Structures are given as structure tokens and as C-alpha cells.
Amino acid sequence: MLAEYEKLAREAASRDESYDAYLLKLTELEVATRTANAVAARIRSAGFPMVKEFDTFDFTAMPSLPKQKALELARGEWVDQRTNVCLIGGSGTGKTHVAVAWGLSLCRLGKKVRFVTAASLVTELEEAQQQHRLDRMLSALDRLDLLIVDELGYLSFSRGGAELLFQVFADRYERRSLLITSNLPFSEWGSVFQGERMTAALLDRLTHRCEIFEMNGESYRFRESMKNKPTKTNTSKK
């Protein structure tokens, strides 16, 4: 930072700029630096497993998610409106990629975001309950503008774990936004929440104001591995 100040001072002197102009540039630099640091801190705090952007996502392979719509949601109005997004589809279809890209965009817009797998979140909730700090954890989750829950349905939960996850989801209804990725259609969520009654109550809240994208198709990871697979060439023996 000191080097930047010195650079501005040299430039101001070489251009014979006024002291006021120099101070204005210093202020702009300070504001830009603080903004960049705040964005970086929000991204670190969010806990993304990797950095994924929309410029590396193959929209041609996933027509159910038009690029224009993805970029529209990246502007974050849906979070301001406290609505939800669900990405439903098989493994390897880009759900996590899209969720991370949206999450990063929201962090840059000043939103508080957290990314967590469903299994990890349930484990944290159960541990917090056992250690008598569940209320504190729920309060921390409630302060998030967007909670991204990845891989719902990959692992089943105990009845108690399912009830805790239901509580988190239900508490955010029309108050905070959720982004959920799942390999299961809604009709099979009963296996996650240990019963049709709780599942119906959750889906009633979750889908009330929700953008739902069915991301079905060939696995993106499989396509990439096939692209990188060396082709066999016939060689003649001499």
C-alpha cells in the first residue's frame, strides 16, 4: 500500500497536480483497496470448495439453464427479494459449478454467503446441539443473506439431523435466501427428511418463491475426461 502511495505522489509531482487532486486519488485508492479486501474476506468466509465462474461453464450442454438467466441471477435481485433457487440433476451436471459462481457474484455485491454440503451442515448442527450452542449457530446462519446447501440427497440423515436441517430451511422462509443443489427430484426428498409430512411442509415453503432448474444430461466431468483421453493410433510392426 505504501508503494502505491509513493507512486501516486511521484505521478502527481511529475504532472504538477494540485494537492487536492493528489488527496482525491489517495482517497479513491483507499476506498478501492478496502472494497477489494472486504470482498476477499467475504469469499474466504463463505467456504467455497473451489473458484468457479460462468465464463468456464458450458451452457450449450445445459439448455435448461440459459446463459442469460444465469447472468441475471448473478446480479442478486432474487436475494434482495428473499427468494430461493434449486438446482436438481444428476452427478457431474454442473450444479456445484453454478452454485459457486452465483455465490462468488453475491460476495462481490456485498452479500454474506456461506457454502456448505448438506452432510456437513447436519453434522455441524448436531454437534452444536450436543454442545448446547445450537441457538448461537442458528443465529449465525440467520445473518447470512444466502445459504448454499450442496449435495442434498447424497447421504441420508438421522431423524434428529433431518429435523435440524428442516428447522434451518424453515427459518429462512421469506426472510433469507437458500440455494440448494440435489441429485434427487422433489418426489424423493422424503428419503432425506425421514417422512412425507415433514417433506411436504418443507417443499411448501421452499418452492413457494423459487427458481427451479432441472440440470439433467451427460456428466460434465465425464465429457471432459473423454476430451482429454488420448486417442489410440495404429502402429505397424516392422
pTM, to two decimals: 0.83
Cα-Cα-Cα-Cα torsion 162, 106, 64, 52, nearest 10 degrees, comes to: -90
Is the residue at 117 inside a domain? yes
Is the residue at 85 inside a domain? yes
Q: Give the chain's mean pLDDT.
A: 88
> What's phi and psi for 145, nearest 5 deg?
-70, -35
The string of pLDDT tens digits covering residues 28-68 is: 777 778 889 999 999 999 999 999 999 999 999 999 999 99
Which pLDDT does position 230 carry in this prediction? 61
Is the residue at 180 inside a domain? yes
Is the residue at 17 inside a domain? no
Is the residue at 142 inside a domain? yes
Out of 39-53, 82-96, 149-163, 206-220, pick the least confident.
206-220
Residue 179: count of CB within 10 angstroms of its CB: 26
Q: In this structure, are residues 137 and 101 in contact, taking their beta carbons and an 8 Å threshold?
A: no
* Domain containing residue 172: 46-216
Which pLDDT does position 31 carry in this prediction? 76
CA neighbor of 149 nearest in space, from 189, 204, 196: 189
Provide the CATH number for the domain around residue 70: 3.40.50.300
The string of pLDDT tens digits covering residues 145-159 is: 999 999 999 988 999
Biggest CA-to-CA distance, the chain: 81
CA neighbor of 143 nearest in space, from 74, 42, 34, 37: 42
Domain count within the chain: 1
